[in-house]
Amino acid sequence: MSVFNHSNLSGGNAPDPDYKWTYEYYDDDEPVSFEGLKAHRYSIVIGFWVGLAVFVIFMFFVLTLLTKTGAPHPEGAEPCKKRVRLTSCVEDLRPPADPDNRPCLHRPLLDSSLSRSLFHCYVNEEQAQEGSRPRAGTPRGGLVQGPGRGRSGSPEEGGMEVGVTRALQGAAMLGGNRTDHREAMSLSHFNIPNVVNSEHCSTLGADDLLLGEPPIIMEGECHWPHSAHHMMD
């Protein structure tokens, strides 16, 4: 950044008549003595950069150590509620090995097998609840329903709900990007509206904001809702 210097009036003196405007980066006129320096003259520079490097590396190691050792950490209220629902399902999961990745659903930090498993878990829970409390026409799965939204909403809303689903999935590290036949079938139980279209894939952006890996490259459109759509036709 450039600075225009002009002479300052020192207290009590007559104004300097021949001041000039110079276009320079910083003030050269201050006398600084370099005599008798005890340490190296660039010591602040070196100390600053070394400190910065140490800080960044230290932060990285702390973060990796946290992931490995799993130090206990008090969670916020909402994640706690979500976790309580999850723990009942978590134990009996069998994450299958599935090498290929489907586009459109972004993979967050965690293994995506959990996403499918937890997805099935929710399906099972909802079906169990359904047995005791028959609900007609309401969307199944607390994941899909936002507060105050019914199924009779516009297609766009339905798409947004799916987007919320995906945001939640991503946010709760559940993002599944391996859709397969079973998952598509279980999706049909959720009665997702037929008009989910690729427009609402933009809400998937919420997934890839995560600290995890970059999202799987989408080849233009969302395949997940289309597969579900296909299954329900």
- Tell which positions 66-105 bind another protein, by CB under 8 A: 66-68, 70, 73, 75-76, 78-79, 83, 86, 90, 93-95, 103
Burial class (CB within 10 angstroms; exposed 0-12, middle 13-18, buried 19+) of 145: middle
Member of 98, 151, 153, 205 binding another protein (CB under 8 A)? 205
Q: Which is nearer to another protein, 198 or 231 (CB)?
A: 198
Q: Which is nearer to another protein, 187 or 210 (CB)?
A: 210
145 φ, ψ to 5°? -85, 120
Instruction: Mark residue 213 as left, alpha or beta (left: phi above 0; alpha: psi -120 to 50; beta: remaining).
Output: beta
Structure tokens at 155: 């297609």
The rounded distance, in Å, linking the Cα atoms of 179 and 186 is 11
The rounded distance, in Å, linking the Cα atoms of 47 and 53 is 10
For tokens 């290929």, the residue is: 100
Member of 173, 187, 192, 196 binding another protein (CB under 8 A)? 173
Nearest approach, Cβ of residue 41 and another protein (Å) = 5
Member of 85, 125, 153, 171 binding another protein (CB under 8 A)? 171
Q: Which is nearer to another protein, 197 or 231 (CB)?
A: 197
If we measure between CA atoms, which residue out of 186, 187, 209 comes closest to residue 106?
Answer: 209
Q: Which is nearer to another protein, 163 or 193 (CB)?
A: 163
The rounded distance, in Å, linking the Cα atoms of 62 and 151 is 46
Nearest approach, Cβ of residue 88 and another protein (Å) = 13
Instruction: Report the site for another protein in 7-46 (rule: CB under 8 A).
Output: 7-8, 10, 13, 16, 20-23, 25-35, 37, 39, 41-45
Nearest approach, Cβ of residue 119 and another protein (Å) = 14
Member of 85, 98, 101, 110 binding another protein (CB under 8 A)? 110
Query: Does 138 help bind another protein (rule: CB under 8 A)?
Result: no
Member of 98, 195, 199, 226 binding another protein (CB under 8 A)? 199
For tokens 């799987």, the residue is: 216
Three-state DSSP at 230 gives: helix
